[in-house]
Structure 1
Amino acid sequence: MSMTDLLHAEDIKKAVGAFTAVDSFDHKRFFQMVGLKKKSPEDVKKVFHILDKDKSGFIEEEELGFILKGFSPDARDLSVKETKMLLAAGDKDGDGKIGADATFESLVQSW
């Protein structure tokens, strides 16, 4: 399964293009732009599993740095600052990772 099976390619392209500058990434705006807010919890979990590259059931800090590439292979990596901010927003129990449970869904729906 790919992102374009769940989200519109044009929405992904626009969202990735909106955050090309380093330290410009805003996860709330990005998730809204790609259309995740409108998706069912099941579809949000499918997106999570696409982003969970090592299939551990968690998105760890190193995977978060490449989150935009999970949506579009030619996207940039997040900066260290952006990665840490995204982790802080989604890591509710302080274990250094974001779980597939309601944690990722709440991160997506958090606006």
Structure 2
Amino acid sequence: MAMRDLLSAEEIEAAVGAFSAAESFCHKKFFEMVGLKKKSQEDIKKIFHILDKDQSGFIEENELKFILKGFTPNGRDLSDKETKTLLAAGDKDGDGKIGTDEFITLVAEA
């Protein structure tokens, strides 16, 4: 399954483009712009599994850095600061990674 099977190409491009400048990423605005806020928990889980590149059941810090590329190949890498901010926002249990339920909560909070 591809990201474009779940989200519109136009919303993906607009959302990724809105955060093309370094240090501009805001997960709350991004999740809203890309259309995640409108999706069911089941669709959010499918998106989580696309972003979980190593299929470990978690999105680790090294995968978060490339989250925009998970939506479209022309997305930029997040800076270390942006990555750590996103991890801190999503890692509710403090284990250093974001699980499925944490990701659903992160999207809902956005």
TM-score with structure 1 setting the length: 0.98
Any unmatched runs of 5+ in structure 1? none
Report how many aligned residue pairs link the two structures: 110
1:1-111 matches, cutoff 5 A: 1-100=1-100, 102-111=101-110
Deviation at 1:109, TM superposition (A): 1.0
Q: What's the RMSD between the two structures over aligned residues?
A: 0.5
Q: Residue by residue, what CA displacement relative to the aligned partner does 1:22-78 show, whole Å, maximum 9, x if unpaired?
A: 110000000000100000000000000000000000000000000000000011000
| Cα distance in structure 1, aligned partners of 2:72 and 2:108 | 21
| Cα distance in structure 2, aligned partners of 1:80 and 1:42 | 30
| Cα distance in structure 1, aligned partners of 2:6 and 2:83 | 24
Report sequence identity in percent. 72
Q: Secondary structure at the match of 2:109?
A: coil
Q: Secondary structure at the match of 2:20?
A: coil
| Cα distance in structure 1, aligned partners of 2:103 and 2:20 | 23
> Aligned letter for 1:108?
V
> Aligned letter for 2:92?
K
